[in-house]
Structure 1
Amino acid sequence: MRRSLSALLVSAGVLSAFVYGFAQHRLSAVSRATAAPELLIALPRFAQVLMAGGDRYLAANLAGFRVLVADTGRMSAEDYKVQAKLQRDIAWFNPAHEDNYYIAAAMLPWNGQVDAAQYVLRKASEARTFDWYPLFHYGFLFYHFRKDPATGAEWLLKAVPRVTSQQDEWALQNVAALWIEKGYQTANAAGMVEAMAANSPRGAFRNYLQVRAKRLRDLAALQSAVTLFRERYGKRVDKLDDLVSSGLMAELPKDPLGVGFGLDASGWPILSSTPQDVK
């Protein structure tokens, strides 16, 4: 009886091995689609917390691991939508999650997910009151992606009280000043840069801001003169010297940064970026 049972088991084993080998041989010839498991699905938040044993911070880390190991070289637009959903969830589970806001700032807006990036960064800036980087990235999204430098500058200035380095403070204020120049009417921008200078410690950087403010004041004066020229003569200004020859200005202002002022294609005064732009 024992010999019959042993023989039966051996036969079954041989048969199983044969079937397995035959199946492997047949399947090896079948073409298979490449799997793309990067970010196939984002579960509802309650399900993610449930799978993490009720620990929302563990749920955040598990979702964060999925984002970290994803092969971005193979990701499609749909994958980035799922990633955006996951990163929103992480920010909701644990707003202070550092890796999450870094990845959101570096990847999401460049792949069509600006709203999600702003959500993550806003959550991080509120939770990490000691950290100025989320506010910087949040402001940059307004400047670069929303084309709203004025709002971007406001968020940069909100980051200034959080910095611990004088150099970082000056850098943020300098960038904010540049964005203010692009985002506000010239006279208002001058006033804001003057206020930044007044709130800065005495020294080279304060002097630099005062110079930028004076440059904006001079530009505002040129723009006012051009407006009067158009009203009086009913034509555009072809060159800035027309303001002097018409008697609207005694002389043209000298750019304190040594570059100069120019006219855009419509004949409106602008800050020159290079000496060759001066007209």
Structure 2
Amino acid sequence: MRRSLPLLPLTALLVSALVFGWSQQRLSTLRQESADPELLIVLPRFAQVLLAGGDRYLAANLAGFRVLVAETQYMKASDYAVQAKLQRDIAWFNPLHEDNYYIAAALLPWNGELDAAQYVLRRASAARRFDWYPLFHYGFLFYHFHRDPATGAKHLLEAVPRVNNVQDQWALQNVAAIWIEKGYQTGNAATMVEAMAEDSPAGNFRNYLRVRAQRLRDLERLQGAAGAYRERFGRQPERLDDLVSAGLLPAIPQDSLGMGFSLDASGTPVLNANPPVEPPR
């Protein structure tokens, strides 16, 4: 007696054949100048899972293989758009996928696909709570591409509890402190760095953060004095020493980090990014 094929596998086989035929037809209509045949088409997510036998993790790995073998040195904007779609799909199938977020951080934002990189890293950050790297990369996108160091610092600080190595914790906090200085009003930045110092264990790193906080408090005093100078004289100070000459400060604060303070083009006191250059004698 002949045994009939089970209905479910047969249905899946028929649907798979239809999807395969549709994809072949779709491929035949595309222009053939793309540098990467692996990136010519992206099937709908349900079709990718179906072709992977219903296994979303296998679907993620198959899509990841397509991304890995693509020759990026020849890729155009249209290729990166397809890659971005693939990497979004991988993050949806399996947000734990490690290669996917590494590749997304390294390639996508630098090639016009910032939104896709953020999606991948956001999914990886939520799923990989044992891994601090996705949050680091996610924070960097805000700092570099969005010009938003405050939000970038927020994500770096979220990553700190995930780090097992104390040196890496300090490194993250140090970068976060620098970004906080750039992203917040001076007084608010000082308060945040002071809080970071108090949350740190006693020792050299806590003292270092206290020094960073103190220089922000000194900068706050300088900025307040510059504002008072403008109100009194109706002009911007030309030198920091003008604030002392006007009796608004007893002396210019000394920066314990050795970089000091200066005036920007608008006459506002700012932190020096580098040690001041000694004038020629």
**Aligned partner of 1:220: which letter?**
E
Residues 19-70 of structure 1 deviation map (CA, whole Å, 9 limit, x = unaligned): xxxxxxxxxxxxx978641411111101111111111111000000000000
- Structure 1 match to 2:44: 44
Contact kept? 2:34, 2:40, Cα under 8 Å: no
Q: Structure 1 residues 156 and 88, CA, compared in 2 at 3 Å: closer, same or farther?
A: same
Q: Structure 1 residues 269 and 52, CA, compared in 2 at 3 Å: closer, same or farther?
A: same
Gaps of 5+ in 2: 1-31
Residues 77-106 of structure 1 deviation map (CA, whole Å, 9 limit, x = unaligned): 000000000000000000100000010011
| 4+ aligned runs moved over 6 Å, structure 1 | 32-35
Cα distance in 2 between the residues matched to 1:96 and 1:277: 48
Q: Structure 1 residues 193 and 34, CA, compared in 2 at 3 Å: closer, same or farther?
A: closer
Residue identity over aligned pairs, in percent, reads 73
- Structure 2 match to 1:214: 214
Gaps of 5+ in 1: 1-31
Match status 1:196 vs 2:176 = no
TM-score, with structure 1 as normaliser = 0.86
Cα distance in 2 between the residues matched to 1:87 and 1:144: 21
**Aligned partner of 2:41: which letter?**
I
Residues 200-257 of structure 1 deviation map (CA, whole Å, 9 limit, x = unaligned): 0111111100000000000011001101111111101100011011111111111111
TM-score, with structure 2 as normaliser = 0.85
Q: Structure 1 residues 42 and 236, CA, compared in 2 at 3 Å: closer, same or farther?
A: same
Q: Structure 1 residues 219 and 277, CA, compared in 2 at 3 Å: closer, same or farther?
A: farther
3-state SS of paired residue (2:90): helix
- Structure 1 match to 2:27: none
**Aligned partner of 1:224: which letter?**
G
Contact kept? 2:36, 2:71, Cα under 8 Å: no
Q: Structure 1 residues 34 and 106, CA, compared in 2 at 3 Å: closer, same or farther?
A: closer
- Structure 1 match to 2:253: 253
**Aligned partner of 1:46: which letter?**
F
- Tell which structure's C-alpha radius of gyration is larger: 1
Contact kept? 2:36, 2:70, Cα under 8 Å: no
- Structure 2 match to 1:22: none
State the aligned residue count: 248
- Structure 1 match to 2:117: 117
